[in-house]
Amino acid sequence: MTQPRGSAAKSAALSAALSGAVDLSALKARAEAAQRQPAPPARPAGDGPPQAGASDAVIDVTEATFQAEVVERSLHQLVVVDLWAEWCGPCKQLSPVLERMAAESGGAWVVAKVDVDANPRIAQLFGAQSIPTIVAIAGGQPVDAFSGALPEPEIRKWITSLLDALRDKLPGIRDAEAAGGPVEEPEDPRFTEAEEAFERGDFAAAQAAYERILDVEPANELAKNALAQVKFTARAESADPEARAKADADPSDLSAQLDAADLDIAENDVEAGFKRLIDTVRRTAGEDRNRVREHLVALFDLFDPADDRVMKARRDLASALF
């Protein structure tokens, strides 16, 4: 399977190691044998193995429930095992992202959370060397894995590639898509608070709201991008309207140069704003140069990294610095 992560070799090695360390064949055989038996009468919720299409997107798994909640469930749905611990900082970044994405999938896949401190034998079964370690289980066997808190776009690519590869093998994926596909994501009140503050012009409150999200989820790209926009808008609205005239008249006036660049960007004269600051970097040094560089890098965050204007400006900045 093509790996969408930055370190493909590392991920491939991890997947290979897991494939060698994990032997779920006996459990899988028992699960498949049970499927061939006549279906038992319906049992109360929570009694016995989960059925395909179970609505819960996140499951807490123990050593006692591993066979039913992971192995047997993976015959119908993709199961993404999240090996975590309470003391693990990166786990607290990654787990909320996985849980939210699983809830969006409409039952195509689920997250099986395993506290490695309480269930060390499961971590040993997977040969996990560090946490967080994420293992995809399908048809009773591990099919791919990664370790560390990846950015959300990378995780989405990983999940999408798995669903595409397994769609014809796991009925839960097809059933979820036939039922209408991903469910609409519930509105996040944290973002609502920030957006409402922004709309009423309270940039300080909007910034604080996005920063609170990032305190809990440092890898949340949506919050990062929104925070950059809020900071820029606050600066641009408070910038001296005569800044460009002052900057052109006195190239050594750093505050005027920074304000002028913000005004350029706000009026969509992006190349001019970038060029103004790169030229300023070339004629400054020490703390002044670092101040201009940081301001320029913050402006880059307002755009797609693949934007041609950003890519050119980054090259020009590197040339100016070195």
- In the 8-state DSSP scheme, what is residue 86? T
Mark whether 289 is an active-site residue.
no
Beta carbons of 227 and 214 less than 8 angstroms apart: yes
Beta carbons of 110 and 176 less than 8 angstroms apart: no
Tell me how far apart the alpha carbons of residues 21 and 74 are, in angstroms, rounded to a whole number.
18
Tell me how far apart the alpha carbons of residues 209 and 183 are, in angstroms, rounded to a whole number.
26
- Segments in the chain forming alpha helices (H): 8-21, 25-36, 66, 89-104, 120-125, 152-166, 171-178, 189-199, 203-216, 221-238, 243-249, 254-266, 270-282, 286-300, 308-321
Closest to 82 measured CA to CA, from 55, 50, 52, 109:
109
Q: Which of 18, 57, 71, 91 is catalytic?
A: 91
Q: Which of 14, 83, 88, 173 is catalytic?
A: 88
Mark whether 88 is an active-site residue.
yes
Tell me how far apart the alpha carbons of residues 285 and 262 are, in angstroms, rounded to a whole number.
21
Pairing mode, if any, of strands 109-115 and 78-84? parallel
Active site residues: 88, 91
